[in-house]
Amino acid sequence: MTDERAPEAVDDAAVYAQHAPRLIALATALAGPATAEDVVAAAVVRVLASPSWPSVTDRGAYLTRAVVNEVRSAHRSSLRRAAREARAAVPERVDAADPVPEILGALAALPVRQRAVVFLTYWGDLTPSAVAAELGIGEGSVRKHLARARQTLREELT
């Protein structure tokens, strides 16, 4: 993922193929591997049904927001339950002696928006301005979310 975007594909299948790998990675970071497919599928289906989709100029960012919103949706209790279960299951996937479970637990405890900012910053290597554009929020808000996330993680991990 870079700041320079490839030209947007024309048809929906091509757009999806272009963005699916990072969307599934994002969904995994936000909701856990067990729920990621559901999140991506629901987000993309909803986006494609939206009447505003054909006029969207930055489809990659639009899809990113759709995935984040899918996870954030306050009324998605079944997904929340699944996400909790998925997060609880994550440590079983790694060696118990590995320090990774600790950071996974701390990441999972962050609010969704903070997790999205952390993911785009650390995995996507995006600058705060690029993260802001991707999520449709202000750069100041990105910096604030990132600072709060890092503060929380530091407290949790020390």
| Residues lying near other proteins in the complex (CB under 8 A) | 12-13, 16-17, 20-21, 23-25, 27-29, 33, 36-38, 40-42, 44-46, 48-52, 55-57, 69, 72-79, 90, 93-94, 99-100, 103-104, 106-107, 111-113, 118-119, 122-123, 132, 136-141, 144-145, 148, 150, 153-154, 157
Nearer to other proteins, 7 or 51 (CB): 51
Nearer to other proteins, 5 or 73 (CB): 73
Closest distance to other proteins from the beta carbon of 113 (Å): 5
Task: Name the token pair of 84.
Answer: 């909790």
Nearer to other proteins, 88 or 111 (CB): 111
Nearer to other proteins, 6 or 155 (CB): 155
Give the whole-angstrom CA distance, residue 13 versus residue 27: 19
- Residues across the chain: 158
Give the whole-angstrom CA distance, residue 59 versus residue 48: 11
Closest distance to other proteins from the beta carbon of 120 (Å): 10
Q: How far apart are the first and last CA of the chain?
A: 31
83: how many CB neighbours lie within 10 A of its CB? 23
Closest distance to other proteins from the beta carbon of 8 (Å): 14
Contact 136, 68 (CB under 8 A): no
Closest distance to other proteins from the beta carbon of 7 (Å): 18
What are the residues whose beta carbons fall under 8 Å from the beta carbon of 132, sequence distance 6 or more?
Answer: 138, 139, 141, 142
Nearer to other proteins, 4 or 77 (CB): 77
Residue among 83, 46, 82 at smallest CA distance from 67: 46
